[in-house]
């Protein structure tokens, strides 16, 4: 299937068009984005604030008019005073103060690797109660390294870190030469051939072109002494089924002399479901048993508990003419070569950022396509408290998800469309949700969140276009830094609002008191306008530019529907 909006990087062909416009996958994504109503808390609070001001002004004007007429004040003078009250009651300086505050916030966040695409998101980020984040590259470094392997029912340990193709191979507690282990080399070759990543050297630095997971398998092959260029020449690829988030598999077909070989790598559950045999055991290739599957699954689970990502490797030898494989045609035909486990170390800043989240009353939620055991292992490593999950989320109804998500903070094997449901469930529980994403499939979930955060390094243009913020370093700690700055800006906006209302309503209270006591009006209309212009202008700016208060990240976020001002707080500020 060829999808609109994608790019053909090699080859050519003819295709039958089966859908156009809104009937395509891109159209479905666009429809979802359109249906996702943008809910910006600051806009909701400003609307509530505006309604409150209008009601208060109408009441004060009516009361002033009635009292003034009753006291016998000249109608023309009273009319001017009422109009002046209308002007003085409205905080004319608020729009300017709000814009300046948000602009300052944008500058401060940029210095902390957060680029703002929509100003209103600054205040919203300071109000978030849940942060939904990817694992790879955001919580971790995205530098995958194969450290363990289980091949021929034997456990291997591989040393070395990063993309440098150097390391030792340890089997049964002693170092071995991998070239002497046929089963091991067979599995490593599968990982190197069923692969699109390239390893190259720039001076003294080794660099990777391609997916880090595939890169880890390429590095492993070079560590084992395999010349992938020569191997690719001897076993050229003639067909490929690219990795897909739905199938979680990659399939390649290679010509090897007078026969053909199908190579498969992917998630353990999917690969194991296609295998009918297992290789590398003492008796060579044999039919796979339920006990074999149980052993492999147990080892994979142990790897996952140690925060390792598990990749299964399998193959099938096909004689005669080339037959292009499909995933269904491989069911029961593959030979399991083994599994490899790779480590993606957490970013150093993440555990501290997690601790800040919990102190600030924010719930971090990990959403990943990895195996559950791996996700749980990483969650523990980065400091997530009481990691819990909801398994088989596709079988859970929306109502049940809304109820169970209150106790879940790790989601594994998640498809892009399921992220949309997770965000919906959190919003239904009155959470203010920040969501990270990098691919075009993440666009619906990003558009549906209160604060959408795109990755600046690995993010697609589509994800950046719908996002409110862009992380220049793809780092979870930068999100938390943005929350801190957002809270500081939100506090300054509140200070400005309280100041403007206190001065304005102080003028109104003075006039009302004079009317009630039958005294001459203390302020003329022109004086009211002059005072209002001064107090609503320059004087409020120092409040907007104040630095953050200490302990700002030790306060819980405000309730979902909390207004900018409350009657009690306004009375206190007005009295002062």
pLDDT number for residue 37: 53
Helix (H, G, I), strand (E, B) or coil at 535: helix
Stretch 80-97: mean pLDDT, rounded? Answer: 76
pLDDT value at position 334? 95
pLDDT higher than 80, residue 77 = no
CB 410, CB 426: distance < 8 Å? no
pLDDT at 568 over 60: no
Question: Where along the chain do the CATH 3.40.50.1000 domains lie?
Answer: 113-140+347-482
Does residue 573 register a pLDDT over 60? Answer: no
pLDDT of residue 565: 64
Task: Give 177's contacts (C-beta < 8 A, 6+ positions apart).
Answer: 169
pLDDT at 365: 97
- The DSSP code for 519 is P
Of residues 45 and 112, more confidence is placed in 112
Average pLDDT, the chain: 86
At the top level of CATH, which class does the domain 41-105+487-575 belong to? mainly alpha
Look up the CATH superfamily of 145-343.
Calcium-transporting ATPase, cytoplasmic domain N (3.40.1110.10)
The pLDDT of 553-559, averaged and rounded, is 88
Per-residue pLDDT of 431-441, as tens digits, reads 999 999 988 88
Is the predicted pLDDT of residue 570 greater than 50, yes or no? no
The stretch 27-52 carries a mean pLDDT of 68
Q: How confident is the model at residue 479 (pLDDT cuts 50, 70, 90)?
A: very high
Query: Does residue 128 register a pLDDT over 90?
Result: yes
Q: How far is CA 533 from CA 357, 494, 501, in A?
A: 41, 20, 13
C-alpha dist (Å) from residue 388 to 157, 248, 366, 426? 30, 23, 10, 15
pLDDT digits (tens, 9 = 90+) for 144-175: 999 999 999 999 999 988 888 999 999 988 99
Phi, psi of 248 (to 5 degrees): 60, 35
What does the pLDDT average to over 247-263? Answer: 91
Say yes or no to pLDDT of 205 above 60. Answer: yes
Alpha-helical runs (H) found in 200-240: 212-223, 228-234
Banded pLDDT at 21 (limits 50, 70, 90): confident
Q: Where in the chain do CATH 1.20.1110.10 domains reside?
A: 41-105+487-575
Res 569: pLDDT: 52
* Position 38 pLDDT exceeds 60: no
Query: Does pTM top 0.75 for this prediction?
Result: yes
CATH 3.40.1110.10 placement within the chain: 145-343
CATH T-level topology, domain 113-140+347-482 = Rossmann fold (3.40.50)
- 45-74 mean pLDDT: 81
Can you read off the two tokens belonging to residue 208?
């990777």
Q: How far apart are CA 330 and CA 251, in angstroms?
A: 10
The catalytic residue positions are 134
235-238-243 Cα angle (round to 5): 100
Backbone angles phi, psi at 341, to 5 degrees: -125, 130
Q: What is the pLDDT of residue 572?
A: 47
Residues paired with 175 in a beta bridge: 170
Within 328-482, strands assigned E span: 334-343, 363-367, 410-411, 433-437, 451-455, 469-471
**Average pLDDT for residues 249-262, to the nearest whole number?**
91
Q: What is the pLDDT of residue 10?
A: 57
């Amino acid at each position: 299937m060829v999808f609109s909006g994608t790019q053909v990087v090699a080859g050519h062909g003819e295709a039958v068009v089966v859908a156009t416009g809104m009937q395509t996958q891109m159209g479905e994504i666009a429809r979802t984005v359109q249906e996702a109503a943008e809910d910006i808390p600051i806009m909701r609070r400003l609307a509530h604030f505006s309604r409150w001001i209008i009601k208060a002004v109408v009441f004060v004007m009516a009361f002033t008019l009635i009292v003034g007429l009753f006291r016998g004040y000249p109608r023309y003078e009273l009319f001017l005073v009422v109009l002046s009250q209308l002007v003085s009651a409205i905080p004319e300086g608020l729009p300017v103060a709000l814009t300046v505050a948000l602009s300052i916030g944008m500058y401060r966040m940029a210095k902390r690797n957060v680029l703002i695409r929509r100003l209103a998101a600054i205040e919203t980020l300071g109000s978030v109660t849940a942060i939904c984040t990817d694992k790879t590259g955001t919580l971790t470094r995205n530098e995958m390294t194969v450290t363990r392997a289980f091949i021929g029912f034997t456990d291997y340990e591989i040393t070395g870190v990063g993309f440098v193709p150097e390391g030792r191979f340890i089997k049964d507690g002693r170092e071995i030469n991998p070239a002497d282990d046929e089963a091991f080399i067979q599995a490593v070759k599968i990982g190197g051939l069923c692969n699109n990543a390239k390893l190259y050297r720039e001076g003294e630095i080794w660099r990777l072109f391609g997916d880090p997971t595939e890169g880890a398998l390429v590095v492993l092959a070079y560590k084992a002494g395999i010349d992938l260029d020569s191997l690719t020449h001897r076993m050229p690829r003639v067909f490929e089924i690219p990795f897909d988030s739905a199938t979680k598999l990659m399939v390649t077909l290679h010509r090897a002399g007078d026969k053909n070989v199908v190579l498969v790598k992917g998630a353990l559950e999917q690969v194991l479901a296609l295998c009918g045999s297992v290789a590398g055991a003492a008796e060579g290739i044999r039919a796979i048993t339920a006990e074999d599957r149980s052993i492999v699954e147990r080892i994979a689970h142990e790897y996952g508990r140690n925060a390792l990502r598990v990749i299964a490797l399998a193959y099938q030898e096909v004689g005669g003419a080339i037959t292009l494989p499909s995933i269904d045609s491989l069911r029961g035909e593959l030979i399991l070569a083994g599994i490899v486990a790779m480590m993606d170390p957490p970013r150093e800043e993440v555990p501290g950022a997690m601790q800040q989240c919990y102190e600030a009353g924010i719930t971090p939620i990990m959403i990943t396509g990895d195996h559950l055991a791996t996700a749980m292992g990483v969650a523990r490593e980065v400091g997530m408290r009481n990691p819990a999950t909801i398994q088989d989320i596709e079988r859970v109804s929306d109502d049940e998800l809304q109820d169970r998500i209150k106790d879940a903070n790790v989601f594994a094997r998640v498809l892009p469309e399921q992220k949309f449901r997770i965000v919906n469930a959190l919003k239904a529980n009155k959470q203010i949700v920040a969501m990270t994403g990098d691919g075009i499939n993440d666009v619906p979930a990003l558009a549906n969140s209160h604060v959408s955060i795109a990755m600046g390094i690995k993010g697609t243009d589509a994800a950046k276009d719908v996002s409110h913020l862009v992380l220049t370093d793809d780092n979870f700690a930068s999100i938390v830094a943005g929350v801190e700055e957002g809270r500081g800006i939100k506090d300054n906006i509140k200070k400005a609002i309280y100041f403007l209302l206190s001065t304005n309503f102080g003028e109104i209270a003075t006039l009302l008191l004079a009317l009630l006591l039958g005294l001459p009006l203390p302020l003329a209309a022109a004086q009211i306008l002059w005072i209002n212009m001064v107090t609503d202008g320059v004087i409020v700016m120092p409040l907007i530019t104040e630095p953050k208060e200490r302990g700002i990240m030790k306060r819980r976020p405000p309730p979902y529907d909390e207004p900018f001002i409350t009657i009690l707080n306004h009375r206190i500020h007005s009295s002062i």
